[in-house]
Chains A and B, each alone.
Chain A
Amino acid sequence: MSRTPQGTWAGLFSRRRFLAAGAALAASRPALAVARPLRIGTTAVILHDQVGFLNAWRAYLEAQLGAPVQFVQRGAYREINDLLRAEELDFAWVCGFPYARNRSLMQLLAMPLWDGRPLYRSYLIVPATDRTTASFADLAGRVFAYSDPDSNSGFLVPQYELYRLGNDPAAFFRRTFFTYAHSKVVLAVGQGLASGGAVDGYVWETMARQSPALTAATRVAWRSEEYGFPPLVARRSLPAATFDSVQGALIGMSGDPVGRTLLRTLNLDGFAPPEERVFDGIAGIVEFVAARQRLPA
């Protein structure tokens, strides 16, 4: 239901300009030798999962790497995990929660930088008409929208917060449901389907910038502390050369005019080298919640 026009990318970049830019860069870099296209899995962690944007980004990366790139869009994080395990995917942009639980399966590739830091918050949003709610405690017995059971900001953080406040998340709300996308949580709360929802703060802020009408129907009632931003990961079995090339291409985006334009659309400042300790916070609440509900860590 996100209403950003598909034409945005077609307007900003013609395919020809991309290829020309790519060809120039490719000439200065050794091409990556790969047996098959590099497959990158994306989830609802980024807002711009539209075909037009991904095509533009793919063209950029192909030009940078000199190798074919393929984006694979999947609705739920769980599917991405399975595909990484099966080596169907080489890379993925996942949430910090699945990363913290599946470090054996994936290694950090790059850290997105938002406001200059690889950190974000989880937001508790309520309909704009609700002027009183200030925390989860005010939503007892109501309908609540989670984004994804494998999302840190959209599921884990509210679970943790409810436990911390002394409630059983399974019984606290009258009814809960998953929308499998942060933007749809904003919609569900804005339309009044749910009385509250947990949403990725970065997604909400980006939507507020790009589709203010949708976020205007909601109000941020509570912000969590900062957690590691959803990282880009690679499967453990990936050859080091490929890993390095793709990491270089991502980190180099902020130094490239086309790359910067793509980053602007993502509402990000750039990509940084991995920092493992950024996810300590998520790992901590995973443990905390698992201890309460014997969640397999």
Chain B
Amino acid sequence: MTVLRDLSYRLKVPLSLSVVIVTTAVVVSAVLGVQTYRDQRRDLIGNAESLAVTLSRALVPVVLRDDVWKAYETIVAPLDLVRDDDLAQRTITILDAHGTIYASSHPLRFPMLGRIERADARLASLLPLLIAATERPIALEDSAGEQIVVAAPILADDATRLGTVMLTYPESLFLPRFYATVRQVVLSTLIVLALLVPIGWAIGDRIVEPLARLARAMTQVGARPAAEVVRPLYRGGDEIGQLGMQFSRMLHELEAKQALEREMIAADRLAALGRLTAGIAHEINNPLGGMMNALSTFRRHAQADPVAARTVSLLERGLQQIRETVGALLVEARLEPHALTREDLEDVRLLVHPEAEERSLRLDWRNDAPATLPLPSTQVRQILINLLLNAVNAAAERGRVACRVATSGSMLLLDVRNDGRPIPPELADRLFEPFASGDTRGSGLGLWVTYQIVQQLGGRISVTSIAPETAFTVWLPYSAPA
């Protein structure tokens, strides 16, 4: 049973269909066989009875005249004694009123004047029935079950019983015919099976195929991301169809959940990084300020020693570079009294234009921003500059960069696209981290700064990179002007 439980439905269903077909065929064959056996037996007995009745009538005058030879000729006539087949095994015997053999078609088996029970012991128990006073023919079976015995009384006109006509048929007589019928039934059944079983197999396979595909798809869940699981394509209102649809829906939900989780992890990491860098920047800035003050004081008051002056200058430049780097890492929204104007954004276009020109790019610009917006202009401009410069760098040679600025509700939308190579997947999760790209052309902090600013403004940034386009989209909420 365990074996059956573990068996694939792709085998189980066709197998069940085959079992049903075979069982049906066997049952039908068996019923037909039994019916045939009964019919043939009934026909045989019916024929024998009518023959016995016919003979019994014809024999009345013959027996009355005591013409043994005529009686013999009469009972031999229906038998073809020359033939040596099953039918030749039939015997017809005339018994007198006491059961003594008057004449028989087979005198060697049933000798004239002999006793029937001595001639064939199997008939002994039937003797009372054979000579009993009945008017109709009777069909009996001998005590060994080997012969069918049919008897009809020979009745004179005044109903006096003159004797009995007894026909014996070996049971085996109609067995060959029965076997022939059974053989035929079995053969036809086999032919039908040869046709039906493959059809049943094919139908079963078709029924189960969607289920099998669903099962295959389900085994992939967990093993690989939901987005990569191959969806079963079977559509239908039946159980498997419903199952498939539910499975698809579940996959979608799983996919969304996994995306959300990834986003949250990335955001958490970026937030931690932000806190870390901010802390480090503060810790660096404090002594840095002291050191730079000290150097400035030293330059102002100390004797000018050319070596010292050179060293101090070197230290100052180094410290200045540290200050700039830390300043870049530590993105802090300073109070910005100047609100964002439409022109501020147009300036960005002018700023980026030479860079785009240099790479022979087309810059599609669409600025639907209102005249003023309650957002800090410096930060917004910095976001847009960063994104546009990245796009210009990433765009294909003679490619295209598109920028769109719009408002929707109380959100400012910045959308920057380029047609460069898509962002490699391994980079996608760490895109906004410092020095993520490994690109040596820039500071490696552009997107980090952008992300930090967007976070500080309470906005959201997303990136989609599907060939042939990579798009960065930023939403920045603003409080509607009172």
Contact = CB atoms under 8 A, between A and B. Distances in A.
Interface of A: 1, 143, 145, 174-175, 177-180, 184, 188, 191-194
A170 B473 CA distance: 140
Contact of B112 (A143, A179, A180): A143
Given A143-B112, A143-B113, A174-B113, A179 B107 contact: no
Query: Which of B69, B81, B112 has the most chain A CB atoms inside 10 A of its CB?
Result: B69
B67 A193 contact: no
B388 to A, nearest CB: 123
Given A1-B73, A143-B113, A193-B112, A175 B68 contact: yes
B69 A180 contact: yes
B107 A191 contact: yes
B113 A193 contact: no
A180 B111 CA distance: 21
B1 interface: no
Contacts of A184: 69, 73
Contacts of B103: 193
Given A1-B73, A143-B113, A193-B103, A177 B108 contact: no
B475 to A, nearest CB: 119
A141 B72 CA distance: 20
Given A1-B73, A180-B69, A184-B69, A175 B113 contact: yes
B69 A188 contact: yes
A177 B68 contact: yes
Nearest to A145: B69
B108 A192 contact: yes
A178 B69 contact: yes
Nearest to A177: B68
A180 B68 CA distance: 11
Given A188-B72, A191-B81, 17 more contacts: A143-B111, A143-B112, A145-B69, A175-B113, A177-B67, A177-B69, A178-B67, A179-B69, A184-B69, A192-B107, A192-B111, A193-B68, A193-B72, A193-B103, A193-B104, A193-B107, A193-B112
Interface of B: 67-69, 72-73, 81, 103-104, 107-108, 111-113
Contacts of A145: 69
A191 to B, nearest CB: 6
A240 to B, nearest CB: 41
Nearest to A188: B69
Task: Give me the 6 closest cross-chain CB pairs, A-B, nearest first.
Answer: A177-B68, A179-B69, A192-B107, A193-B107, A192-B108, A143-B112
A178 B107 CA distance: 17
A223 to B, nearest CB: 24
A184 B73 CA distance: 10
7 contacts: A175-B68, A175-B112, A177-B67, A178-B69, A184-B69, A188-B72, A193-B68
A179 B72 CA distance: 10
Nearest to B68: A177
Nearest to A179: B69
Nearest to A143: B112
Contacts of A174: 113
A151 to B, nearest CB: 14
Nearest to B109: A192
Query: Which of A1, A191, A193, A194 has the most chain B CB atoms inside 10 A of its CB?
Result: A193
Query: Which of B103, B104, B107 has the most chain A CB atoms inside 10 A of its CB?
Result: B107
Contacts of A143: 111-113
A52 B112 CA distance: 36
A174 B114 CA distance: 11
Contacts of B81: 191
A1 B112 CA distance: 20
A79 to B, nearest CB: 16
A143 B107 CA distance: 11
Contacts of A188: 69, 72
A180 B70 CA distance: 10
A141 to B, nearest CB: 10
Contacts of B68: 175, 177, 193
Contacts of B104: 193
A55 B108 CA distance: 39
A291 to B, nearest CB: 28
A9 B126 CA distance: 51
A77 to B, nearest CB: 16
Nearest to B82: A3
